[in-house]
Structure formats: structure tokens, C-alpha cells
Amino acid sequence: MDLEWTVFVKRKGNSEAVLLATFQRPSAVSATASDFGLSIAEARQLLVELQRSVAQDQICAYDARRRCCRHCGAYRQIKDWRPRTIASGLGEVHVRVPRVVSCLCLPEPPDDDDEPVELRYSECPIDRLVPRGRTPEVSYLCARHGSSVSYRSAAQIVADDMTGLRTLCHATLRKETVGESGPKLGQTEPPGKADDGE
């Protein structure tokens, strides 16, 4: 009889459990050394699914807090949900993000003739949360490796070996190394590193 595990995650305060993965291994009689534990691919896939579930819940919670109009406090409607890919230290995270319609309390934007436009604009509230489509960890890895080897080599190291991202452009490495993250490399700890209390 095969051994089988099903992994679920459940957010506190929510009764719904989300299926992350199911693993199956042969019984002790027919098992081999390669059947022991999780493979790297299975472990990475489990982490990607966990990251997706956590990120989607965070997006929904962040959207709920940012949905009210900053001027009048009215609850704004969702225009649509769009797929978005965010680069994280665990790989690509595929999530759905809302676009929110502008509030009616704001004047319509004028056109070229200074006449009000009948179309309302929409915004994505989470653009402030992840403005460049990548987490600070990825930006840090880009800047750190981009400062020590060529940008193309660093892009391959960060994408393939460290994060499991499908592609990472060498121009992104250059921006992170020369731009915002690079000058701060010696001044700060890597993002997400636990404080030792010293």
C-alpha cells in the first residue's frame, strides 16, 4: 500500500482550507533511496503554492483596507481582476489583483478641450505594495550578485540557481545594482533576515 500525504493551509479566522499539494510514495517493500523524503522539485512546488496562497490572501486584505475613497470614504467598486506575476525569493508567484474604479466624488478628468471625459479611470491598489513586480529579497539578490560578477552571469545565478524564476533580464540586475538597492548593500541587512536582538 502506498503512503500518501495531503498538505492544506488554513488562514486564522477563515474556515476554508486550501489544498497545497499531495505527495505519494511507494510502500516500504518497493521503496528505493530516491523515494525518501521530498524531491527538490516537490519541495519547491510546495513552497510556491504556499507563497501563492499567502500572497493572494494579503492582496485581498490590502485591497479591502485601500478600497475606500481617500476623499469621501465611499466604498469603491471593482472593475475587474487581472492576473499578475510577482518575482519572489521562492520563484514566480501568480496571483489575481483587483482594479478599482475611481470614486464619483472626484471630478472627471478633462480631455484636450477641457471638457470632462465620460470614462472613469481605474487603479490597482496593490501597485504601492509591490511597485516593480518583485519583492525586496529579489532586488537585494540582484544588487548583491550584480555587484560581483557580470550582469548576465548574475541574472542567470539569481534566476536559475537561487529563486527558480524563469527569466531575469540583465538590465534588471543593472538597475538594481546601480539604482536603489545597490548603494544600500553595505548599510543594511538582507530583507527578511531575522533580528538577533543584539
**Residue 42: inside a domain:** yes
pLDDT at 198: 43
How confident is the chain (198 residues) per 10-residue block, as mean pLDDT? 87 87 84 82 87 90 84 85 87 88 69 57 77 81 81 80 70 73 58 52
Cβ pair 91, 164 in contact under 8 A: yes
My answer on whether 79 and 14 are in the same domain is yes
My answer on whether 159 and 120 are in the same domain is no
Q: How far apart are CA 58 and CA 65, in angstroms?
A: 11
pLDDT at 96: 92
My answer on whether 21 and 41 are in the same domain is yes
**Residue 175: inside a domain:** yes
My answer on whether 152 and 104 are in the same domain is no
pTM over 0.85: no
pLDDT at 39: 85
Which residue segment(s) compose the domain that 180 sits in?
Answer: 134-185
Q: How far apart are CA 159 and CA 89, in angstroms?
A: 10
pLDDT at 138: 82
**94, 112, 133 — which closes off a domain?**
133
In what helix (H) or strand (E) does residue 19 lie, and over which residues does it extend? strand 17-25
My answer on whether 65 and 82 are in the same domain is yes
pLDDT tens, position by position, 54-99: 999 988 888 888 888 877 888 888 888 999 988 888 888 889 999 8
My answer on whether 76 and 157 are in the same domain is no
The count of domains in the chain is 2
**Residue 192: inside a domain:** no
My answer on whether 149 and 61 are in the same domain is no
pLDDT at 83: 93
**Residue 124: inside a domain:** yes
> How many beta carbons lie within 10 A of that of residue 62, not counting itself?
16
Q: What 8-state DSSP symbol labels residue 67?
A: -
My answer on whether 118 and 157 are in the same domain is no
How far does CA 144 lie from the centroid of its chain? 20
**Residue 190: inside a domain:** no
My answer on whether 14 and 102 are in the same domain is yes
